Amino acid sequence: MLLLARPNGLGYSRLGCVVAKKNVRRAVGRNRIKRVVRDTFRRQQQLLMPMDIVFIAHKGLDLLVPQAQTQCLQKNWQRLARRAEQTGEQK
């Protein structure tokens, strides 16, 4: 998976999900991934600085069970929050 982020002028974070049919063939898998991404984003949204985030799924993400997807995403949200905080301090 790939997370792209850029600060926005709003007071909150926004999320965009891209799960291509090329990478996850079945609609059930694509919808499950998007549901897990939105759920984990909602839970971690308070930690994130106001930014626009684009989530891009890669091949094989649908092969993970939802619990593994959730753990992986939570780590990535926390990593993104730390990184955004560090770059915010530098400016």
Domain segments of the chain as ranges: 2-83
Instruction: Give, for all 91 residues of the chain, the pLDDT tens digit.
Output: 899 999 988 989 999 999 999 999 999 999 999 999 999 999 998 888 899 999 999 998 989 998 999 999 999 999 999 988 887 755 5
CATH: 3.90.330.10, 3.30.230.10, 3.40.190.10, 1.10.1380.10. Which one for 2-83? 3.30.230.10
C-alpha distances in angstroms, 45 versus 48, 54, 61, 63, 72?
5, 14, 22, 26, 16
Give this prediction's pTM: 0.86
Q: Give the residue from 72, 51, 49, 43 showing the smallest Cα distance to 6.
A: 51
> What pLDDT does 47 receive?
85
Give the whole-angstrom CA distance, residue 31 versus residue 34. 5
